[in-house]
A = this chain, B = another copy of it.
């Protein structure tokens, strides 16, 4: 059976997809050697640069958020694989500046290892940088150490907030602190109903029975502990929201920015229905959903499922979330 994907040689997936993405948005992004996506209109050198890294296969993901007010560079690995330290170091060198670099790393073993190696080498070269680890996934349990929490699509609002602060001219310590403080108010939980196919070999990366779903499944089919029978949209939303609210110590009066990230085959129709439930669940606790995003911002091939991301926000954070960005996949918030 032939894999049901529109691809050419599986070996060239990453290079070809990056060339295509750059071709679609020539006034916004450029693809440089070493699979580094950068802004077509670079930020002035007196501002803090934002760099991140991650595997491909999750588009639009990180490279889709390169642009004014968000990332300066995304260093891209192969399908579901971290880029190596050499590529990341090349990007860090390219953006070496007095103002410094904020390196944003999603908490996955491969990304963390490449980042640690590149950071050590960069520091020996006098490159000024700070590293922010994003670990928004709460599926490991509320008592799990932060190091056990994976980085999921909650990285995108964190990047937006950090990027807006950097664009406004904040110094490296200030950008780091705003982003780090906000990242502790961001929590994510994923759910899957149907697994997906690895686009390089056509094999399933996870399997679920016809009547099953799994809350907590990670971005690569990692187990999440919450396997069970399929629930309605409202009941799924409730199960996820309650855990997220607990993780965030959500209380009456809190303002919530909610993101429902479709990971592949789950429709905006379904995500909208779940969003409706989230607003009601927040209201029941006296909290208010002040807005959000219903979209595919970080996908897992054609997996059916989504990530629910809750961000507790204040006026300062909302202003940064609403600040202008021209990144290809950021739609400005009203």
> CB within 8 Å of B: which residues of A?
1-2, 4-8, 13, 16-21, 23-28, 40, 56-57, 59-60, 64, 193-194, 199, 210-211, 230, 232-234, 236, 258, 260, 264-277, 279, 289-296, 299, 301-302, 304, 306, 326, 328-334
Query: Contact at A289–B23, with CB atoms within 8 Å?
Result: yes
Known contacts A19-B276, A199-B269; A28/B334 CB under 8 A = yes
CB distance from A216 to the nearest CB of B (A): 16
Query: Contact at B4–A194, with CB atoms within 8 Å?
Result: yes
CB distance from A250 to the nearest CB of B (A): 17
Query: Contact at A269–B334, with CB atoms within 8 Å?
Result: no
Chain B positions within 8 Å of A40 at CB level = 334
What is the CA–CA distance of A94 and B290 in the complex, to the nearest angstrom? 27
Query: Contact at B267–A299, with CB atoms within 8 Å?
Result: yes
CB distance from A231 to the nearest CB of B (A): 8
CB distance from A180 to the nearest CB of B (A): 27
CB distance from A205 to the nearest CB of B (A): 13
Chain B positions within 8 Å of A267 at CB level = 5, 57, 59, 199, 264, 299, 301-302
Query: Contact at B294–A21, with CB atoms within 8 Å?
Result: yes
Chain B positions within 8 Å of A13 at CB level = 269, 273
Known contacts A267-B59, A326-B334; A273/B24 CB under 8 A = no
Q: Which of A1, A258, A302 has the most CB of B within 10 A?
A: A302
A–B pairs, 22, beta carbons within 8 Å: A5-B266, A6-B271, A7-B233, A8-B233, A8-B273, A17-B272, A21-B268, A23-B292, A24-B260, A24-B291, A24-B292, A25-B334, A26-B291, A27-B333, A56-B269, A59-B267, A64-B268, A264-B265, A265-B265, A267-B299, A269-B299, A326-B334
Query: Contact at B276–A16, with CB atoms within 8 Å?
Result: yes
Known: A17-B272, A23-B276. 11 other contacts (CB 8 A): A5-B193, A7-B232, A7-B273, A16-B273, A16-B276, A20-B273, A26-B291, A27-B333, A57-B267, A267-B301, A268-B296
Which chain B residue lies CB-closest to A306?
A: B6
What is the CA–CA distance of A65 and B270 in the complex, to the nearest angstrom? 18
Known contacts A6-B236, A16-B276, A279-B23; A57/B332 CB under 8 A = no
Query: Contact at B304–A21, with CB atoms within 8 Å?
Result: no
Which chain B residue lies CB-closest to A27?
A: B334
Query: Contact at A328–B326, with CB atoms within 8 Å?
Result: no
Known contacts A301-B267, A302-B304; A230/B4 CB under 8 A = yes
Q: Which of A23, A267, A289, A291 has the most CB of B within 10 A?
A: A267
Query: Contact at B193–A8, with CB atoms within 8 Å?
Result: no
Query: Contact at A274–B210, with CB atoms within 8 Å?
Result: no
